[in-house]
Protein backbone atom coordinates (compact mmCIF):
# COMPACT_ATOMS: atom_id res chain seq x y z
CA UNK A 1 0.00 0.00 0.00
CA UNK A 2 2.83 2.33 0.99
CA UNK A 3 4.62 1.45 -2.21
CA UNK A 4 1.49 2.07 -4.24
CA UNK A 5 0.93 5.51 -2.73
CA UNK A 6 4.59 6.28 -3.25
CA UNK A 7 4.25 5.32 -6.88
CA UNK A 8 1.22 7.57 -7.20
CA UNK A 9 3.10 10.44 -5.64
CA UNK A 10 5.97 9.84 -8.01
CA UNK A 11 3.64 10.52 -10.90
CA UNK A 12 3.64 14.17 -9.98
CA UNK A 13 5.62 16.61 -12.06
CA UNK A 14 6.72 14.02 -14.54
CA UNK A 15 5.67 16.16 -17.40
CA UNK A 16 6.04 17.72 -20.80
CA UNK A 17 4.34 20.68 -22.44
CA UNK A 18 2.20 20.01 -25.47
CA UNK A 19 3.65 21.60 -28.60
CA UNK A 20 3.98 21.39 -32.35
CA UNK A 21 6.95 22.53 -34.41
CA UNK A 22 6.43 22.91 -38.12
CA UNK A 23 8.69 24.17 -40.90
CA UNK A 24 6.82 24.93 -44.09
CA UNK A 25 7.22 26.81 -47.33
CA UNK A 26 5.18 29.89 -48.05
CA UNK A 27 4.88 30.71 -51.76
CA UNK A 28 4.70 34.28 -52.99
CA UNK A 29 1.30 35.92 -52.52
CA UNK A 30 0.24 33.13 -50.24
CA UNK A 31 -1.25 33.15 -46.78
CA UNK A 32 -1.13 30.15 -44.48
CA UNK A 33 -3.13 29.84 -41.29
CA UNK A 34 -2.93 27.40 -38.42
CA UNK A 35 -5.72 26.90 -35.91
CA UNK A 36 -5.75 25.44 -32.43
CA UNK A 37 -8.60 24.81 -30.09
CA UNK A 38 -7.72 25.99 -26.60
CA UNK A 39 -9.43 26.08 -23.22
CA UNK A 40 -9.81 29.21 -21.17
CA UNK A 41 -6.87 30.31 -19.02
CA UNK A 42 -4.28 28.34 -20.95
CA UNK A 43 -0.87 29.84 -21.58
CA UNK A 44 0.42 29.52 -25.10
CA UNK A 45 3.68 30.57 -26.79
CA UNK A 46 4.33 31.15 -30.44
CA UNK A 47 7.88 31.32 -31.84
CA UNK A 48 8.47 31.83 -35.49
CA UNK A 49 11.48 32.44 -37.69
CA UNK A 50 12.05 32.89 -41.39
CA UNK A 51 14.81 30.52 -42.43
CA UNK A 52 15.15 31.20 -46.13
CA UNK A 53 13.89 33.36 -48.97
CA UNK A 54 14.16 36.93 -50.18
CA UNK A 55 14.60 39.47 -47.41
CA UNK A 56 13.93 36.90 -44.69
CA UNK A 57 10.73 38.55 -43.50
CA UNK A 58 7.09 37.59 -43.16
CA UNK A 59 3.85 39.09 -41.84
CA UNK A 60 2.32 37.35 -38.87
CA UNK A 61 -0.90 37.88 -36.97
CA UNK A 62 -2.79 35.96 -34.31
CA UNK A 63 -6.47 36.26 -33.45
CA UNK A 64 -8.74 34.89 -30.74
CA UNK A 65 -12.10 33.15 -31.32
CA UNK A 66 -13.92 36.50 -31.62
CA UNK A 67 -11.47 37.70 -34.27
CA UNK A 68 -9.76 40.21 -32.00
CA UNK A 69 -6.15 40.69 -32.92
CA UNK A 70 -3.80 39.48 -30.25
CA UNK A 71 -0.62 39.96 -32.22
CA UNK A 72 0.09 41.68 -35.50
CA UNK A 73 3.52 42.31 -36.93
CA UNK A 74 4.66 43.09 -40.44
CA UNK A 75 7.84 41.92 -42.09
CA UNK A 76 9.57 40.41 -39.12
CA UNK A 77 12.42 37.95 -39.38
CA UNK A 78 11.79 36.24 -36.05
CA UNK A 79 9.71 36.86 -33.01
CA UNK A 80 8.25 35.33 -29.91
CA UNK A 81 4.76 35.86 -28.59
CA UNK A 82 3.10 34.64 -25.42
CA UNK A 83 -0.43 35.00 -24.09
CA UNK A 84 -2.97 33.49 -21.72
CA UNK A 85 -6.30 32.67 -23.30
CA UNK A 86 -9.26 34.67 -22.07
CA UNK A 87 -11.88 32.47 -23.63
CA UNK A 88 -12.32 28.99 -24.92
CA UNK A 89 -12.34 28.51 -28.65
CA UNK A 90 -10.31 28.33 -31.80
CA UNK A 91 -7.24 30.54 -31.90
CA UNK A 92 -5.62 31.30 -35.21
CA UNK A 93 -2.04 32.12 -36.26
CA UNK A 94 -1.51 33.30 -39.82
CA UNK A 95 1.56 33.96 -41.90
CA UNK A 96 1.38 36.07 -45.00
CA UNK A 97 3.82 36.43 -47.87
CA UNK A 98 1.43 38.54 -49.90
CA UNK A 99 3.80 41.49 -50.05
CA UNK A 100 6.33 39.46 -51.99
CA UNK A 101 6.02 39.10 -55.75
CA UNK A 102 8.30 36.21 -56.51
CA UNK A 103 10.22 34.91 -53.51
CA UNK A 104 9.19 31.88 -51.50
CA UNK A 105 9.82 31.90 -47.80
CA UNK A 106 10.55 28.98 -45.50
CA UNK A 107 9.04 29.65 -42.09
CA UNK A 108 9.52 27.77 -38.82
CA UNK A 109 6.67 27.84 -36.34
CA UNK A 110 6.65 26.53 -32.77
CA UNK A 111 3.28 26.56 -31.06
CA UNK A 112 3.40 25.46 -27.44
CA UNK A 113 0.38 25.38 -25.22
CA UNK A 114 -0.96 23.89 -22.12
CA UNK A 115 0.25 23.43 -18.65
CA UNK A 116 2.61 20.67 -17.73
CA UNK A 117 1.22 17.39 -18.99
CA UNK A 118 2.20 14.42 -16.93
CA UNK A 119 4.56 11.81 -18.25
CA UNK A 120 2.19 9.13 -17.15
CA UNK A 121 -1.32 10.50 -17.14
CA UNK A 122 -2.32 9.05 -13.84
CA UNK A 123 -1.66 12.09 -11.80
CA UNK A 124 -2.85 13.07 -8.37
CA UNK A 125 -2.05 16.30 -6.58
CA UNK A 126 -0.45 16.38 -3.23
CA UNK A 127 2.57 14.73 -1.80
CA UNK A 128 6.00 16.20 -2.06
CA UNK A 129 8.83 14.75 -4.07
CA UNK A 130 11.86 13.07 -2.62
CA UNK A 131 15.25 14.58 -3.21
CA UNK A 132 16.00 12.15 -5.99
CA UNK A 133 12.81 13.06 -7.81
CA UNK A 134 13.48 16.77 -7.36
CA UNK A 135 16.93 16.32 -8.89
CA UNK A 136 15.36 14.48 -11.80
CA UNK A 137 12.86 17.27 -12.34
CA UNK A 138 15.62 19.91 -12.17
CA UNK A 139 17.77 18.05 -14.70
CA UNK A 140 14.74 17.60 -16.96
CA UNK A 141 14.02 21.33 -16.95
CA UNK A 142 17.64 22.21 -17.72
CA UNK A 143 17.75 19.72 -20.57
CA UNK A 144 14.59 21.24 -21.99
CA UNK A 145 16.34 24.61 -22.06
CA UNK A 146 19.39 23.02 -23.70
CA UNK A 147 17.23 21.39 -26.39
CA UNK A 148 15.44 24.67 -27.07
CA UNK A 149 18.71 26.55 -27.40
CA UNK A 150 19.95 23.88 -29.80
CA UNK A 151 16.85 24.35 -31.92
CA UNK A 152 17.50 28.09 -31.98
CA UNK A 153 21.12 27.54 -33.05
CA UNK A 154 20.08 25.06 -35.68
CA UNK A 155 17.66 27.54 -37.22
CA UNK A 156 20.16 30.41 -37.26
CA UNK A 157 22.79 28.13 -38.77
CA UNK A 158 20.33 26.89 -41.40
CA UNK A 159 19.57 30.46 -42.35
CA UNK A 160 23.26 31.41 -42.67
CA UNK A 161 24.06 28.26 -44.58
CA UNK A 162 21.25 28.83 -47.07
CA UNK A 163 22.40 32.38 -47.58
CA UNK A 164 25.96 31.15 -48.25
CA UNK A 165 24.77 28.49 -50.69
CA UNK A 166 22.64 31.03 -52.48
CA UNK A 167 25.66 33.34 -52.72
CA UNK A 168 27.81 30.56 -54.18
CA UNK A 169 25.17 29.82 -56.77
CA UNK A 170 24.89 33.47 -57.76
CA UNK A 171 28.68 33.88 -58.02
CA UNK A 172 28.90 30.82 -60.28
CA UNK A 173 26.13 31.93 -62.61
CA UNK A 174 27.43 35.47 -62.73
CA UNK A 175 30.95 34.31 -63.65
CA UNK A 176 29.69 32.16 -66.50
CA UNK A 177 27.31 34.85 -67.67
CA UNK A 178 29.95 37.55 -67.61
CA UNK A 179 32.44 35.44 -69.61
CA UNK A 180 29.86 34.96 -72.33
CA UNK A 181 28.95 38.66 -72.21
CA UNK A 182 32.58 39.74 -72.52
CA UNK A 183 33.15 37.63 -75.61
CA UNK A 184 29.89 38.76 -77.18
CA UNK A 185 30.63 42.44 -76.54
CA UNK A 186 34.23 42.12 -77.72
CA UNK A 187 33.24 40.54 -81.01
CA UNK A 188 30.16 42.68 -81.35
CA UNK A 189 32.06 45.97 -81.10
CA UNK A 190 34.49 44.90 -83.81
CA UNK A 191 31.65 43.74 -86.05
CA UNK A 192 29.74 46.98 -85.64
CA UNK A 193 32.75 49.14 -86.39
CA UNK A 194 33.46 47.15 -89.51
CA UNK A 195 29.86 47.52 -90.59
CA UNK A 196 30.08 51.34 -90.15
CA UNK A 197 33.00 51.47 -92.52
CA UNK A 198 31.24 49.27 -94.96
CA UNK A 199 28.48 51.93 -95.35
CA UNK A 200 30.73 54.99 -95.35
CA UNK A 201 32.84 53.76 -98.24
CA UNK A 202 30.14 54.65 -100.77
CA UNK A 203 29.53 58.31 -99.72
CA UNK A 204 33.25 59.04 -99.32
CA UNK A 205 33.88 57.90 -102.85
CA UNK A 206 31.03 60.02 -104.23
CA UNK A 207 31.88 63.36 -102.52
CA UNK A 208 34.27 66.08 -103.88
CA UNK B 1 5.13 -6.77 -5.91
CA UNK B 2 5.20 -3.39 -7.55
CA UNK B 3 5.11 -5.02 -10.98
CA UNK B 4 1.96 -6.96 -10.17
CA UNK B 5 0.29 -3.83 -8.84
CA UNK B 6 1.25 -1.86 -11.89
CA UNK B 7 -0.16 -4.26 -14.45
CA UNK B 8 -3.83 -3.20 -14.41
CA UNK B 9 -2.62 0.37 -14.05
CA UNK B 10 -0.38 0.02 -17.04
CA UNK B 11 -3.12 -1.11 -19.41
CA UNK B 12 -5.37 1.78 -18.49
CA UNK B 13 -2.41 4.13 -18.71
CA UNK B 14 -1.64 2.84 -22.15
CA UNK B 15 -5.19 3.40 -23.29
CA UNK B 16 -5.34 6.82 -21.70
CA UNK B 17 -2.09 7.83 -23.29
CA UNK B 18 -3.13 6.62 -26.71
CA UNK B 19 -6.27 8.71 -26.49
CA UNK B 20 -4.45 11.58 -24.87
CA UNK B 21 -1.72 11.42 -27.44
CA UNK B 22 -4.03 12.91 -30.01
CA UNK B 23 -5.85 15.44 -27.87
CA UNK B 24 -5.89 18.58 -29.94
CA UNK B 25 -3.07 19.29 -32.33
CA UNK B 26 -2.76 22.20 -34.72
CA UNK B 27 -4.91 22.09 -37.82
CA UNK B 28 -4.92 23.81 -41.19
CA UNK B 29 -6.96 23.76 -44.38
CA UNK B 30 -5.92 22.14 -47.59
CA UNK B 31 -7.49 22.22 -51.02
CA UNK B 32 -8.41 19.19 -53.08
CA UNK B 33 -5.32 18.83 -55.24
CA UNK B 34 -3.07 20.84 -52.99
CA UNK B 35 0.10 19.29 -51.66
CA UNK B 36 1.35 20.53 -48.32
CA UNK B 37 4.95 19.90 -47.42
CA UNK B 38 6.75 20.27 -44.12
CA UNK B 39 10.47 20.27 -43.60
CA UNK B 40 12.11 18.54 -40.67
CA UNK B 41 15.79 19.07 -40.14
CA UNK B 42 16.95 16.19 -37.99
CA UNK B 43 20.12 14.31 -37.06
CA UNK B 44 20.49 10.69 -38.08
CA UNK B 45 18.90 7.75 -36.25
CA UNK B 46 16.06 9.96 -35.10
CA UNK B 47 12.51 8.71 -35.06
CA UNK B 48 9.62 10.85 -36.23
CA UNK B 49 5.99 10.02 -35.56
CA UNK B 50 3.28 11.92 -37.39
CA UNK B 51 -0.39 11.74 -36.53
CA UNK B 52 -3.05 13.29 -38.70
CA UNK B 53 -6.81 13.42 -38.79
CA UNK B 54 -8.93 14.83 -41.59
CA UNK B 55 -12.35 16.40 -41.60
CA UNK B 56 -14.43 17.35 -44.57
CA UNK B 57 -16.61 20.42 -44.73
CA UNK B 58 -20.29 19.58 -45.10
CA UNK B 59 -22.05 22.28 -47.08
CA UNK B 60 -25.53 21.42 -45.87
CA UNK B 61 -24.71 21.37 -42.20
CA UNK B 62 -22.07 24.10 -42.69
CA UNK B 63 -19.67 22.47 -40.36
CA UNK B 64 -16.86 20.00 -40.43
CA UNK B 65 -17.88 16.37 -40.15
CA UNK B 66 -16.06 14.37 -37.50
CA UNK B 67 -15.00 11.54 -39.81
CA UNK B 68 -15.48 10.80 -43.46
CA UNK B 69 -15.31 7.50 -45.27
CA UNK B 70 -13.42 7.16 -48.49
CA UNK B 71 -11.18 10.09 -47.76
CA UNK B 72 -7.52 9.23 -47.89
CA UNK B 73 -4.28 11.07 -47.52
CA UNK B 74 -1.15 10.22 -49.44
CA UNK B 75 1.96 10.66 -47.33
CA UNK B 76 5.37 10.93 -48.92
CA UNK B 77 8.63 11.38 -47.05
CA UNK B 78 11.88 12.27 -48.76
CA UNK B 79 15.34 12.21 -47.22
CA UNK B 80 18.02 14.94 -47.71
CA UNK B 81 19.22 13.23 -50.92
CA UNK B 82 15.70 13.44 -52.40
CA UNK B 83 15.22 9.72 -52.09
CA UNK B 84 11.74 8.62 -51.08
CA UNK B 85 11.80 6.72 -47.81
CA UNK B 86 8.08 6.50 -47.16
CA UNK B 87 5.31 6.64 -49.70
CA UNK B 88 1.99 5.30 -48.57
CA UNK B 89 -1.65 6.03 -48.61
CA UNK B 90 -3.51 6.15 -45.35
CA UNK B 91 -7.18 6.56 -44.50
CA UNK B 92 -8.85 9.69 -43.27
CA UNK B 93 -7.03 9.22 -39.98
CA UNK B 94 -3.54 7.86 -39.81
CA UNK B 95 -0.19 7.66 -38.21
CA UNK B 96 3.13 7.41 -39.98
CA UNK B 97 6.56 6.65 -38.53
CA UNK B 98 10.01 6.74 -39.96
CA UNK B 99 13.60 6.84 -38.73
CA UNK B 100 16.19 8.97 -40.42
CA UNK B 101 19.40 7.32 -41.61
CA UNK B 102 21.11 10.41 -42.94
CA UNK B 103 21.19 13.73 -41.12
CA UNK B 104 19.60 16.67 -42.86
CA UNK B 105 16.37 18.12 -44.18
CA UNK B 106 13.63 15.60 -44.58
CA UNK B 107 10.47 16.59 -46.38
CA UNK B 108 7.07 15.28 -45.35
CA UNK B 109 4.40 15.88 -47.98
CA UNK B 110 0.68 15.29 -47.67
CA UNK B 111 -1.96 15.47 -50.30
CA UNK B 112 -5.47 14.19 -50.38
CA UNK B 113 -6.37 11.22 -52.46
CA UNK B 114 -10.08 10.89 -52.05
CA UNK B 115 -11.83 8.06 -53.81
CA UNK B 116 -15.04 9.99 -54.02
CA UNK B 117 -14.42 13.34 -55.66
CA UNK B 118 -18.06 14.31 -55.30
CA UNK B 119 -17.49 14.68 -51.58
CA UNK B 120 -15.11 17.53 -52.12
CA UNK B 121 -17.11 19.71 -54.51
CA UNK B 122 -14.70 22.62 -54.16
CA UNK B 123 -14.59 22.54 -50.40
CA UNK B 124 -11.64 22.56 -48.11
CA UNK B 125 -10.31 19.73 -46.08
CA UNK B 126 -9.34 20.30 -42.48
CA UNK B 127 -6.21 18.40 -41.48
CA UNK B 128 -5.12 18.03 -37.86
CA UNK B 129 -1.42 17.34 -37.83
CA UNK B 130 1.00 16.53 -35.09
CA UNK B 131 4.65 15.70 -35.70
CA UNK B 132 6.79 14.50 -32.83
CA UNK B 133 10.53 14.33 -33.24
CA UNK B 134 13.16 12.28 -31.41
CA UNK B 135 12.71 12.16 -27.70
CA UNK B 136 9.20 13.64 -27.89
CA UNK B 137 8.13 10.69 -29.99
CA UNK B 138 8.67 8.30 -27.13
CA UNK B 139 5.63 6.86 -25.52
CA UNK B 140 6.68 6.62 -21.90
CA UNK B 141 3.64 4.77 -20.71
CA UNK B 142 4.39 2.05 -23.22
CA UNK B 143 8.05 1.95 -22.22
CA UNK B 144 7.14 1.74 -18.55
CA UNK B 145 4.76 -1.12 -19.22
CA UNK B 146 7.12 -3.02 -21.48
CA UNK B 147 10.27 -2.76 -19.37
CA UNK B 148 8.38 -2.76 -16.10
CA UNK B 149 9.99 0.39 -14.79
CA UNK B 150 9.20 2.14 -11.56
CA UNK B 151 8.40 5.79 -11.73
CA UNK B 152 11.90 6.88 -10.77
CA UNK B 153 13.39 4.57 -13.37
CA UNK B 154 11.04 6.06 -15.93
CA UNK B 155 12.13 9.57 -15.08
CA UNK B 156 15.76 8.60 -15.38
CA UNK B 157 14.96 6.93 -18.67
CA UNK B 158 13.42 10.15 -19.91
CA UNK B 159 16.56 12.05 -18.91
CA UNK B 160 18.72 9.52 -20.73
CA UNK B 161 16.64 9.94 -23.88
CA UNK B 162 16.85 13.71 -23.64
CA UNK B 163 20.61 13.67 -23.24
CA UNK B 164 20.88 11.28 -26.18
CA UNK B 165 18.93 13.71 -28.32
CA UNK B 166 21.14 16.62 -27.26
CA UNK B 167 24.23 14.64 -28.19
CA UNK B 168 22.84 13.66 -31.61
CA UNK B 169 21.93 17.25 -32.29
CA UNK B 170 25.48 18.33 -31.42
CA UNK B 171 27.01 15.80 -33.81
CA UNK B 172 24.68 17.06 -36.48
CA UNK B 173 25.74 20.61 -35.69
CA UNK B 174 29.37 19.68 -36.34
CA UNK B 175 28.47 18.11 -39.67
CA UNK B 176 26.46 21.14 -40.72
CA UNK B 177 29.19 23.57 -39.73
CA UNK B 178 31.62 21.65 -41.92
CA UNK B 179 29.26 21.92 -44.87
CA UNK B 180 28.90 25.62 -44.25
CA UNK B 181 32.64 26.05 -44.10
CA UNK B 182 33.09 24.14 -47.37
CA UNK B 183 30.51 26.33 -49.08
CA UNK B 184 32.22 29.51 -47.86
CA UNK B 185 35.66 28.34 -48.93
CA UNK B 186 34.29 27.32 -52.31
CA UNK B 187 32.77 30.78 -52.78
CA UNK B 188 36.02 32.43 -51.75
CA UNK B 189 38.01 30.39 -54.26
CA UNK B 190 35.58 30.97 -57.07
CA UNK B 191 35.53 34.73 -56.51
CA UNK B 192 39.34 34.81 -56.48
CA UNK B 193 39.74 32.75 -59.66
CA UNK B 194 37.02 34.63 -61.42
CA UNK B 195 38.68 38.02 -60.74
CA UNK B 196 41.98 36.81 -62.21
CA UNK B 197 40.36 35.17 -65.23
CA UNK B 198 38.20 38.20 -65.89
CA UNK B 199 41.19 40.54 -65.90
CA UNK B 200 43.06 38.26 -68.31
CA UNK B 201 40.04 37.99 -70.61
CA UNK B 202 39.60 41.75 -70.66
CA UNK B 203 43.25 42.37 -71.51
CA UNK B 204 43.25 39.65 -74.17
CA UNK B 205 40.10 40.96 -75.81
CA UNK B 206 41.44 44.49 -75.74
CA UNK B 207 44.67 43.47 -77.47
CA UNK B 208 42.82 41.37 -80.03
CA UNK B 209 40.40 44.20 -80.80
CA UNK B 210 43.21 46.69 -81.39
CA UNK B 211 45.15 44.36 -83.66
CA UNK B 212 42.13 43.29 -85.62
CA UNK B 213 40.92 46.83 -86.15
CA UNK B 214 44.38 48.01 -87.10
CA UNK B 215 44.68 45.40 -89.85
CA UNK B 216 41.09 46.22 -90.88
CA UNK B 217 41.84 49.93 -91.27
CA UNK B 218 45.01 49.24 -93.15
CA UNK B 219 43.00 47.16 -95.58
CA UNK B 220 40.47 50.01 -95.81
CA UNK B 221 43.26 52.48 -96.53
CA UNK B 222 44.48 50.28 -99.35
CA UNK B 223 40.98 50.16 -100.85
CA UNK B 224 40.62 53.94 -100.77
CA UNK B 225 44.05 54.39 -102.32
CA UNK B 226 43.10 52.07 -105.12
CA UNK B 227 39.78 53.85 -105.53
CA UNK B 228 41.49 57.19 -105.71
CA UNK B 229 43.89 56.07 -108.36
CA UNK B 230 41.18 54.34 -110.36
CA UNK B 231 38.66 57.26 -110.31
CA UNK B 232 41.02 60.26 -109.89
CA UNK B 233 39.64 61.38 -106.54
CA UNK B 234 41.66 63.71 -104.43
CA UNK B 235 41.93 62.34 -100.96
CA UNK B 236 42.96 64.76 -98.28
CA UNK B 237 44.35 62.09 -96.00
CA UNK B 238 47.38 61.30 -98.06
CA UNK B 239 49.81 58.93 -96.54
CA UNK B 240 52.52 61.29 -95.31
CA UNK B 241 55.38 59.18 -96.40
CA UNK B 242 57.25 62.12 -97.84
CA UNK B 243 56.26 62.22 -101.51
CA UNK B 244 53.46 62.72 -104.04
CA UNK B 245 51.43 59.82 -105.34
CA UNK B 246 52.94 57.67 -107.98
CA UNK B 247 50.54 55.71 -110.09
CA UNK B 248 52.86 52.83 -110.49
CA UNK B 249 53.31 52.35 -106.82
CA UNK B 250 51.81 49.03 -105.95
CA UNK B 251 50.94 49.48 -102.31
CA UNK B 252 50.92 52.32 -99.86
CA UNK B 253 53.48 51.89 -97.14
CA UNK B 254 52.20 50.43 -93.89
CA UNK B 255 50.89 53.03 -91.47
CA UNK B 256 52.01 53.44 -87.94
CA UNK B 257 49.47 53.91 -85.19
CA UNK B 258 49.25 57.70 -85.25
CA UNK B 259 48.95 57.83 -89.01
CA UNK B 260 46.15 55.35 -89.34
CA UNK B 261 44.29 57.04 -86.50
CA UNK B 262 44.58 60.34 -88.37
CA UNK B 263 43.43 58.80 -91.62
CA UNK B 264 40.50 57.29 -89.76
CA UNK B 265 39.48 60.72 -88.53
CA UNK B 266 39.79 62.27 -91.99
CA UNK B 267 37.78 59.55 -93.59
CA UNK B 268 34.74 60.74 -91.62
Mean pLDDT of A16-41: 86
Q: Which residues of chain B does A143 touch, with a Cβ-Cβ cutoff of 8 Å?
A: 159, 162-163, 166
Task: Say if the Cβ atoms of A190 and B212 lie within 8 Å.
Answer: yes
Residue B4: the pLDDT is 45
Which runs of E-coded beta strand occur in chain A?
15-26, 31-38, 43-52, 58-63, 69-76, 78-84, 89-96, 105-118
Rounded to an integer, what distance in angstroms lies between the CA atom of residue A50 and that of residue B44? 24
Beta bridge partner(s), residue B127: B28, B54
pLDDT, one tens digit per residue, over B15-31 is 444 444 445 678 898 88
Q: With cut-offs at 50, 70 and 90, classify the pLDDT of residue A176.
A: very high
Residue B231: the pLDDT is 63
Rounded to an integer, what distance in angstroms lies between the CA atom of residue B126 and that of residue B64? 8
Rounded to an integer, what distance in angstroms lies between the CA atom of residue B28 and that of residue B33? 15
Q: Which of A:125-164 have CB within 8 Å of B?
A: 132-133, 136-137, 139-140, 143-144, 146-147, 150, 153-154, 157-158, 160-161, 164
8 A C-beta contact, residue B124 and residue B63: no
Task: Say if the Cβ atoms of A21 and B170 lie within 8 Å.
Answer: no
Q: With cut-offs at 50, 70 and 90, classify the pLDDT of residue B219.
A: confident
Q: What backbone phi and psi angles, to 5 degrees, belong to B228? A: -60, -45
Residue B19: the pLDDT is 42
Task: Say if the Cβ atoms of A186 and B208 lie within 8 Å.
Answer: yes
CA B198: distance to chain centroid? 29
Alpha-carbon torsion A187, A188, A189, A193, what sign? positive
Mean pLDDT of B239-264: 57
Residue B30: the pLDDT is 85
Alpha-carbon torsion A163, A93, A115, B5, what sign? negative
Rounded to an integer, what distance in angstroms lies between the CA atom of residue A34 and that of residue A95? 9
**Mean residue pLDDT across chain B:** 78
Which runs of E-coded beta strand occur in A119-199?
none
Inter-helix orientation angle B257-267/B151-231, to 10°: 80
Cβ atoms < 10 Å from Cβ of A121:
18
| Lowest mean pLDDT segment, chosen from A6-20, A38-52, A121-135 | A6-20
Total length of chain A: 208
Percent of chain A exceeding pLDDT 90 equals 29
Beta bridge partner(s), residue A118: A15
Q: With cut-offs at 50, 70 and 90, classify the pLDDT of residue A121.
A: low
- Tell me whether 0.85 is exceeded by the ipTM: no
Question: Which residue would you say has higher pLDDT here, B134 or B81?
Answer: B81
Rounded to an integer, what distance in angstroms lies between the CA atom of residue B53 and that of residue B128? 5
Residue B188: the pLDDT is 93
| Lowest mean pLDDT segment, chosen from B5-14, B63-72, B206-215 | B5-14
Which region, left, alpha or beta, applies to residue A53 given φ > 0 means left and ψ of -120 to 50 means alpha?
left
8 A C-beta contact, residue B155 and residue B27: no
Residue B251: the pLDDT is 61
Mean pLDDT of A161-175: 90
> What's the Rg (C-alpha) of chain A?
31
Nearest to A171 among B16, B187, B224 (CB): B187
Residue B258: the pLDDT is 61
Nearest CA in chain A to B3: A4
Q: With cut-offs at 50, 70 and 90, classify the pLDDT of residue A118.
A: low
Residue B134: the pLDDT is 84
Listed in sequence order, the DSSP H helices in chain B are 2-20, 117-120, 140-147, 151-231, 257-267
| Lowest mean pLDDT segment, chosen from B162-166, B229-233, B234-238 | B234-238
* CB-based contacts of A186, cutoff 8 Å, min separation 6: B205, B208, B209
Amino acid sequence: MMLYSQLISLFLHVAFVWGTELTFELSDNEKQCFYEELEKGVKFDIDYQVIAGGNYDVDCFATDPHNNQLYNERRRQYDSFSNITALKGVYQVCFSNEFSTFTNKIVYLDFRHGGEQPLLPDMTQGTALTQLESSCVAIHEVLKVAAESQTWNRLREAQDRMRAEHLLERVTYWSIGETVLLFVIGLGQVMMLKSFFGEKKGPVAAST
Amino acid sequence: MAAVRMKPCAVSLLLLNLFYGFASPLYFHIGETEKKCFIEEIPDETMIIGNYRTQLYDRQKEEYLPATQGLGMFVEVKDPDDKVILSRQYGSEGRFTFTSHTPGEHQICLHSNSSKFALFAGGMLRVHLDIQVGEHANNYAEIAAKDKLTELQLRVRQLVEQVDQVQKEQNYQRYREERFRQTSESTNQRVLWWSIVQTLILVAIGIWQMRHLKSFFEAKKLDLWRLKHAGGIFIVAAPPCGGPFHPNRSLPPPLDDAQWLLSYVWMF
